[in-house]
Amino acid sequence: MKVLNFGSLNLDYVYQVNHILIPGETLASKERNTFCGGKGLNQSIALAKAGIPVYHAGMIGEGGEILLETCEQNGVNTKFIRKIEGPCGHTVIQVDENGQNCILLYGGANRSITRDFVDEVLAFFEKGDILLLQNEVNELDYIIDKAYEKGMMIILNPSPYDSALDACDLSKISLFLVNEIEGYQITGEKEPEQILSKIKDLYPKAKIVLTLGGDGSVYQDETGVYHQGIFKVKTVDTTAAGDTFTGYFISSILEAMPVEKGLELAAKASAIAVSRPGATASIPLRDEVLNWKNE
């Protein structure tokens, strides 16, 4: 069984600020750093650091070589990453004194996926292989349809949620990883119990992980509902915390760990990520997660 993550690769320009800007305001930042990121890349690195071999498919633009190098250094297979002319996907991220962030995304090369490229990539995979997706590349609906035709198991983190997801046949998804806002956007429900219940009505075969910020996470499948709290740490930067959780939780499924253990592993990994700056740079290795003591 092979694992493919078809997703974004971004250069994250991260600005330290006293507070997140309000409309019309001009504010001097205290520091700027450039990190490797993108929900796609972060989740591939999290899978690889958790010990799962993963192929990443996507596009980088000018200046994006460091994203490719980061994949290689972390053991992500780069056979399906293409370099194209034009700007790389990138973000402008403000991180405030409490480690909270806001992210402005420019899709760049991530929005240059062609159907021919999708067909070329998927030709390498077969029934039973895993496909992980987020919503930072174009042609998401086509990727889902073609992967489903092949019999791949599709996992979707519909983030950031936008109208591209309305064009996707979500009945083809086996596992959703969503936060409360995305849960609301999919179901129209605001309360966690209602979101889970509506997902079950809409997509009876799908499993779901609903992340609840400070209230932890909930997993639901046909066997029941499982809760996991957060591990409290000093927050430095929340960027990629969700991606770390996603990669680690998927790794636990692929290793057939009990759900409770998988949720705990993912919660610990994301707590460590929150305690460090940057996106891919903040994601811990599996041994570190296993040996971590929350002091």
Token reading at 235: 């927050």
The nearer residue to ligand RIB, 11 or 175, going by C-beta atoms, is 11
Backbone angles phi and psi of 24, in degrees to 5: 85, -10
264 binds ligand RIB (CB under 6 A): no
37 binds ligand RIB (CB under 6 A): yes
Residue type at 86 in one-letter notation:
G
Q: Which of 4, 5, 6, 12 binds ligand RIB (CB under 6 A)?
A: 12
Least separation in angstroms between residue 159's CB and ligand RIB is 7
Least separation in angstroms between residue 87's CB and ligand RIB is 14
Helix/strand/coil for 145 = helix
Task: Pick the piece of the chain touching ligand RIB (CB under 6 A) from 32-40, 66-74, 191-199, 219-227.
Answer: 32-40
The neighbour count for residue 223, using CB atoms within 10 Å, is: 9
Closest-CA residue to 91 (of 279, 282, 277): 279
The neighbour count for residue 258, using CB atoms within 10 Å, is: 10
Closest-CA residue to 6 (of 102, 129, 188): 129
92 binds ligand RIB (CB under 6 A): no
Cis peptide bond upstream of 160, omega within 30? yes
129 binds ligand RIB (CB under 6 A): no
Q: Which of 179, 239, 244, 246 binds ligand RIB (CB under 6 A)?
A: 239
- Enumerate binding residues for ligand RIB (CB under 6 A): 8, 10, 12, 37-39, 42, 91, 103, 105, 136, 239-240, 242-243, 279
